[in-house]
Amino acid sequence: MDKNELKQKIQELKQQRKAVIVAHNYQHDDVQEIADVVGDSFALSKYCATTDAEVVVFCGVHFMAESAKILSPEKTVLLPEIDAGCPMADMVTAEALREEKKKYPDAAVVCYINSSAEVKAECDVCCTSSNAVNVIKSIKEKDILFVPDQNLGHYISKLVPEKNIIFWKGFCITHHKIKTDEVEKMKKLHPDALLLIHPECRPELVEMADFVGSTKQIIDYANSSENSKFIIGTEMGVLYKLKKENPDKTFYLMSQGLLCPNMKKTSLESVYNSLNEMKYQIELDEDVRVRAAKALERMLQVG
């Protein structure tokens, strides 16, 4: 099938299945193009919880589809590529976290949404890169065990110095590998461009930024900025929305290395197969789901 035929078939199957297609900001352009909603994991999970569709095709990575299922257990949640995982989420297991918690019995336990349902079930509250600072400020405990992203943890600790954040040593393989020399070169090449960076980047890069935020916050910032040139320090998929929403502005990717291979596993073909064969369905242990839902719902209350 060629691309147009695939898109046509996807639309037909979507109607038949009473499905919606949601895509993360890091997905391939053509997957973002056919999606009903494109956004970050937080916005997509919230959307999935409110839609009356019976089936959700989640074009993203495993923890995101799980988060949708945690909040919408009555829906069928499909992940088109079952091997699309997040190496950062895999850097903490529920078992390792239970051991670490024993060392800090008085600490609140907070997990980045980039974590498995089992890990979320061990935590008091979740956060995303958009709301991490507000979530941390909302916690009464001074000590906070934060998993799994050390870079996001470091970023929060600078903004909420009254808290004592105990870091896990996880990181995003895509953002963490970018070093300052590459960013300095880009800044020299484009001196009038603003540098917008994701907090999953190393702290020394975050210090160089004009703005730090989640994918959504980076897109919102660029949309409303009077500047016309930007260096984008997050996964290259965001360029699709940035360029579409700002045809008169120029965007440079901070590094050609900013590509998440797991996010790029999903193609139009895999979305078609997913709807056609109703695969791969996310299933969760109900006890884990209920405990993970508490952590996600507490986050939703903060906003």
Tokens (6 digits) for 216: 């959504």
Taking contact as CB under 6 A, which single stretch among the options 13-21, 141-149, 210-218, 283-291 is the one that binds ligand CIZ? 210-218
Cα 170 to Cα 74, 144, 154, distances in angstroms? 32, 16, 12
Tokens (6 digits) for 59: 């074009």
Taking contact as CB under 6 A, which single stretch among the options 49-57, 80-88, 125-133, 181-189 is the one that binds ligand SF4? 80-88
Q: Which of 23, 31, 38, 40 binds ligand CIZ (CB under 6 A)?
A: 40
Distance CA 134, CA 249 (A): 31
Q: Pick from ligand CIZ, ligand SF4, none: which does 262 bind, CB < 5 to 8 A by kind?
A: ligand SF4
Question: Considering the rule CB under 6 A, would residue 61 count as an interface residue with ligand SF4?
Answer: yes
Q: Which of 214, 262, 270, 274 binds ligand CIZ (CB under 6 A)?
A: 214
**Min separation Cβ 26 and ligand CIZ, Å:** 7
**Min separation Cβ 114 and ligand SF4, Å:** 5
Distance CA 222, CA 47 (A): 23
How big is the site for ligand SF4, counted in residues (CB under 6 A)? 13
Beta-ladder partners of 166: 145
- φ, ψ for residue 222 (rounded to 5)? -65, -40
Nearer to ligand CIZ, 24 or 298 (CB): 24
Quickly list DSSP for 146-177: EESBHHHHHHHHHH-TTSEEEEP-B--HHHHT
Taking contact as CB under 6 A, which single stretch among the options 117-125, 175-183, 212-220, 288-296 is the one that binds ligand CIZ? 212-220
Q: Which of 88, 144, 254, 271 binds ligand SF4 (CB under 6 A)?
A: 88
The pattern of x and - marking residues 214 through 253 that bind ligand SF4 according to CB under 6 A reads: ---------------------x------------------
Question: Considering the rule CB under 6 A, would residue 67 count as an interface residue with ligand CIZ?
Answer: no
Question: Considering the rule CB under 6 A, would residue 86 count as an interface residue with ligand SF4?
Answer: yes
3 state SS for 245-301? HCCCCEEEECCCCCCCCCHHHCCHHHHHHHHHHCCCECCCCHHHHHHHHHHHHHHHH
Q: Which of 127, 263, 271, 293 binds ligand SF4 (CB under 6 A)?
A: 263
Angle (nearest 5°) at CA 168 between 183 and 110 = 105
What DSSP state is assigned to residue 83? T
Rg (CA), the chain: 19
Near ligand SF4 in 158-177, by CB under 6 A? 172-174
Distance CA 174, CA 242 (A): 20
Question: Considering the rule CB under 6 A, would residue 118 count as an interface residue with ligand SF4?
Answer: no
Beta-ladder partners of 212: 197
Question: Considering the rule CB under 6 A, would residue 257 count as an interface residue with ligand SF4?
Answer: no
What DSSP state is assigned to residue 90? G
Distance CA 10, CA 237 (A): 21
How big is the site for ligand CIZ, counted in residues (CB under 6 A)? 13
Q: Pick from ligand SF4, ligand CIZ, none: which does 263 bind, CB < 5 to 8 A by kind?
A: ligand SF4
**Min separation Cβ 85 and ligand SF4, Å:** 8
Q: Interface residues with ligand SF4 (CB under 6 A)?
A: 61, 86-88, 114, 172-174, 200, 235, 260, 262-263
Residues that bind ligand CIZ in the complex, under the rule CB under 6 A = 24-25, 40-42, 113-114, 128-129, 198, 214-216
